[in-house]
Structure 1
């Protein structure tokens, strides 16, 4: 789908990694190993509250064993004075180098299917963003399903965005991976609807755009995804939605207004690729400027492995360049798409 869009838009704003980058040996080996081990486990994983809580604790403990880069300072955030009535908790990651504008910041919304993970599990991404851009990164510990179905996570993300604005960070780039990508896109739409100061840019890694998985289920038979099972994702999606379906969950049927510049990075070998392509099409049809990068042969949120995979390292460099350009832009100007 993305390739079809190229002929109808102006020349690309940046190089397209799908054509210039080939998957490394490391990423091919890792993808094959995960396909044989993790994917079967995820496909059959139960979606009941007790196993989910056990998985959360295991992930957080594993993340706690990984050292944090000493070039950043991690401060705990706990602010009860926000509009949701819920105490905002999270991490404020501050790089030693302060090269970026004082008003600039990144709001990072972690993935995990809206049911797993935390700011700590995503430090390989958030600390790298802070180091590459020189920007402080706020990572809210938003409420998770099934205990807190949507829109609890969106309410917390909006509160975190207001937290940044109230502290003088009026040039904010919103980022998110997987379910956090869905949350980041939902937040950008909510910001536009509520009339808040718009973000400088939006970055989505392998966004889980459609929680009903209508596009990813048909793609599953054609794509050798390393570990995402759209059937398991569909079960999780029902937990996230809860009993009352919030219309803001449905990104593919939303009435999009033009957003600030958007960067979407998605692996060429993941079942969520069609969802990312469709979101890019919808955003550009609404007048948005979208840089859609399809990384050939890569798996879901491969950027997490930026310390080990050259592919992920290069993707993070592309991200930093996009963020730098977005913050430097005086206005959004005309909008286009790169695919």
Structure 2
């Protein structure tokens, strides 16, 4: 019987990371978990993929896919953010250490994310919320595209921060956004490292181009000053026309992934609290 993995593109051989990229990866420092939050953290595996698990309760499971342009980032860099999210929602956050480009181009990271999701979907009885930021948000949306095509249970919710959803990078906001953290040159460089000849038109690479009918309730957060406003608006519009519940939060004057870069700012705290409310609403809906 065909599996969800059979519907994914074949894996391909990548290229070595440059010394400059290796230096940039090293800048994704481990963040500390506030002991006052009362969460526990540890390392485990799902479907053979190493994962970081941050637990503050079992009301829901949040499968969180970190950002970094598909070529940087680590679960440990998200310790603090995951702990706040877990504590606010009384949930468990699972952060996969998915394979990175350019050593592992598309679809390697997606295959890892799908494998972890499939394992959680089989093992977890409560609600599952897929989440991510930037490239990780694109990966989260792509997991749903793959799950729909492969006949898997779809998640109960989708939560996206500064989502990078269209690797064509043609949105006019790339030309007008004042934010400096994800400019067009960075997006195009990350895209080439990730795709390495695969088409940006593939909905598994650019999930903004997918059929969004059947997507779960979705929360989208985007900074009003960042280049990815267009991607966020595009997904919100498509979900609306597909009769999918969607909340779009545009936070004025904020740049790319502001809750991660400025975690103590009041707007960042408010954004994390909004995520926790969203997860709790999904959990309540699941109880009927």
The TM-score normalised by the length of structure 2 is 0.87
Distance 1:253 1:168, change over 3 A: closer
The answer to whether the aligner puts 1:72 opposite 2:28 as a matched pair is: no
The answer to whether the aligner puts 1:319 opposite 2:275 as a matched pair is: yes
From 84, 106, 125, the counterpart of 1:128:
84
Cα distance in 2 for residues equivalent to 1:50 and 1:203:
33
Cα distance in 2 for residues equivalent to 1:125 and 1:163:
24
The answer to whether the aligner puts 1:89 opposite 2:50 as a matched pair is: yes
For the Cα contact (< 8 Å) 1:124–1:306, is it kept in 2? no
Residue aligned with 1:249, SS: coil
Question: What is the RMSD computed on CA atoms of the aligned residues?
Answer: 2.0
Cα distance in 2 for residues equivalent to 1:213 and 1:193:
25
Shift of 1:231: 2.0
For the Cα contact (< 8 Å) 1:88–1:142, is it kept in 2? yes
Cα distance in 2 for residues equivalent to 1:315 and 1:299:
13
Cα distance in 2 for residues equivalent to 1:226 and 1:250:
22
Q: Which structure 1 segments of 5+ residues have no match?
A: 1-46, 333-339
In the alignment, what sits opposite 1:34? none
For the Cα contact (< 8 Å) 1:177–1:206, is it kept in 2? yes
For the Cα contact (< 8 Å) 2:17–2:103, is it kept in 1? no
List per-residue Cα deviations over 1:163-190 (Å, max 9, x = no partner): 2123234410011000001001111121
In the alignment, what sits opposite 1:272? 228
Cα distance in 1 for residues equivalent to 2:68 and 2:213:
27
Matches within 5 A, 1:80-159: 82=47, 87-95=48-56, 98=57, 100-101=58-59, 104-159=60-115
Shift of 1:110: 0.3
From 127, 131, 136, the counterpart of 1:180:
136
Shift of 1:75: 1.1
Cα distance in 2 for residues equivalent to 1:285 and 1:264:
16
List per-residue Cα deviations over 1:219-270 (Å, max 9, x = no partner): 2342211322112211210111122337211223222322110000000011
From 235, 239, 244, the counterpart of 2:193:
239
The answer to whether the aligner puts 1:225 opposite 2:186 as a matched pair is: no
List per-residue Cα deviations over 1:68-125 (Å, max 9, x = no partner): 222221111135xx3xxxx301101112xx3x43xx2110000000000100111222
Distance 1:307 1:245, change over 3 A: closer
In the alignment, what sits opposite 1:285? 241
In the alignment, what sits opposite 1:49? 18
Larger radius of gyration: 1
Which has the bigger relative contact order, CA under 8 A and spacing at least 6? 1
Shift of 1:195: 1.6
Cα distance in 1 for residues equivalent to 2:231 and 2:287:
28
Runs of 4+ in 1 over 6 A off after TM superposition: none
The answer to whether the aligner puts 1:294 opposite 2:250 as a matched pair is: yes
Residue aligned with 2:27, SS: helix
